[in-house]
Structure 1
Amino acid sequence: MQRKYLDELHIKASKDLNAKSKGDAASGVDLSQYLKGKVTNDAAELNAWFAENDWPGMDITITPNGLGIGSIFDLLVDWQNAGKKYPVYIDQVRYEGVKMDKSASLKGYQLQGYDYPMFELATRQEGWRVFLVETDTSYTGMELTTRAVELMDLSRQPYDFRTLQFPQVDFEADVNIKWMEGMKVEGGLFSIDEAIKKVRLRLDDKGARAQSAVAMMTRSLPMGVYSIERPFFVIFWHEGLTLAPFVAISAN
């Protein structure tokens, strides 16, 4: 029974991963060409798959009767009009940077209620644009995505400028997505034991590349068993009563 359940879960996870690669169905955007996925119950196989795709060191472990789900995103864009390499000084420190002149492929906007302008860089890849906007606040996890959506939704007015300069970017970082751990999915049939995410970003005079690798390790829960894990009501009741004579909440 457990083996059959694991096989069914494997098939479902594979289908879900494929469906998510299709992007936002309502918008008609298909992201599948930028995504790769892998579902397996073999940790060594999943680690090897990440390494083969230039993401070594994921250090994945999978519990017995669990599954590992891997996903890789890789998007490379070229600026419609390349910039020029140019040094940028921030707090009197010199950084390798990029200089671009205002053109049809580089626009600036003043955002309503926001202190800094937003710049839109057109790319040679159909439909893709890259937006740059400064911030005084650091965001992580879902806050980062939520704030980006808020900025994109702000009303825009043309911003007057002649040239844009920005530092080149080339970094790799771990992203904390531990908030996903312990989440129950598929109606509580399994939970996420561990979630790992790494990202890379390159931004230079020629274009930009955004990459991420995500691994989620799940643990199957006993079928048909519901485990109470939060404080709970205990209600004594007798047929015919309108008020319970005794009610308590467990403190665990």
Structure 2
Amino acid sequence: MPAVRDDLTAFVYTWVDAYGVAGAALSVFGERLPEQIFEKVDGIEVPDTQGFDDYRVGPLHMSLAPDGATSQVRFDGDRVSLSLAYDGFHQPYRYGTHADGCPGFFADDRLEQSGRARGVLTLDGAELEFDTVCQRDHSWGERDWAAMHHMKWINALTPAGDAVHAVELLAFGQRYLRGYVLREGQLAQLDELRMNYELDNGMLHRSMEATFIDQLGRSTEVAFTDGGPHFEWDVNPRLTLRDTAMRARLLGRDAAAYVDMSWEPDYFEHRRQAGQPVAVST
């Protein structure tokens, strides 16, 4: 999730199945671009001996440190290329540490980590250096995207090293919530998340007020604003990802934020055609 110079956001993603068939993607979007750039490869066979310490899929080369603290990522695309070094603020948080574990339709297990990324984004031949906050995740096991009616993936990070993360999954008539709060260097698992937000006429989230309550009893208020240019991916016939970078205020400090609200395509189109903004409180 590295944001670049306030007006660009880059999203790097990779996947591999149990048969060693892999893919990778890089999306860049923001105010300086009329539409998102999305470069994707799929169906590439990778050897069983290849590990994530030296992982290569088409234009992507990634190296993860054994302790999960650092990583190197490079993606050499056609219009865009990205090279970054990542350092985590904390040890990765695993969804499997939750009392109810990781939801099986989402992953066998999954980790999230807030941190910092430094590197260069090359866009149409122009090099843009960045040094900014970044969110890293990794999942094990096959994901059943179609199991979910709705999904939120919410992150806000300050340069000082404070962060909040939450995923809210609606599936099988239930709500699954996982996440954490990182404050003053202390990480605590998320207990509850309350949200008030607006969806515009196109069903895009542009602002949100959220309260993150963790297992240490801390209540952390975060204000999200300036949602706009976004990333959209029909990742499954039954789910469309819609992500936007946002500005935030976290513990009185400016923060970078990234919020995904994913919808079933038919429901998404029904509401978008209605053309009416919606206010939601949970």
Q: Which has the higher contact order (CA 8 A, sep 6+)?
A: 1
User: Which structure has the larger Rg?
Assistant: 1
Query: With structure 1 as the length reference, what TM-score do the two structures score?
Result: 0.25
Structure richer in strand, relative to its length: 2
Query: With structure 2 as the length reference, what TM-score do the two structures score?
Result: 0.23
Structure richer in helix, relative to its length: 1
